Amino acid sequence: MEWQFQIEFVIAYGIVQAITVLIFVYLSFSNPGFLKSKLKIKATESLLQLLKEWECFEICPECIVVKVSRSRHCDFCNNCVKVYDHHCPWIDNCVAILFVLYIYIKIGSENHCTFYLFVFLISVNISLSFAL
């Protein structure tokens, strides 16, 4: 009976491990909410023309994009993110802040809930590793 329990435990550990790896791959390559290319400014326009149309805080000088409110430039990804939270070194990607009405209006974050699931599964994996 003891042997049967250990096999089930190892299978459950393998399933959790596989799900964690899949979520890691998804988060590494997902779009956290980078500003779309349709907002990019034409390279031929001068900075003076841009400042006539927009305020200086509405233009990202790094990627030459008109920023939306609450967006920020990520120095690691070299892109502007709609609602920037942080750049995670674990997944080598940005994580955007989750809005309260994210499910309904779909603004900003593309990967915030999945990131929390990933962190939870990492902690489950660590716990199961010590239990083995």
Catalytic residue among 60, 74, 80, 88, which? 88
d(CA 95, CA 58): 21
- Pairing mode of beta strands 79-81, 72-74: antiparallel
- For the chain, which residues make up each domain, given as ranges? 27-131
pLDDT tens-place values along the chain, 132 residues long:
555 667 888 888 889 889 989 888 888 888 888 877 554 555 555 556 667 777 878 888 777 777 887 788 999 988 888 888 889 898 888 887 654 334 444 444 567 777 878 888 888 888 887 776
The pTM of this model reads 0.67
3-state secondary structure of 14: helix
Is 91 in contact with 99 (CB distance < 8 Å)?
no
Partner residues linked to 44 by β-bridges: none
56 tagged catalytic = no
Q: Is the dihedral of CA 86, 90, 93, 98 positive or negative?
A: negative
Burial class (CB in 10 A: 0-12, 13-18, 19+), 57: exposed
d(CA 120, CA 127): 11
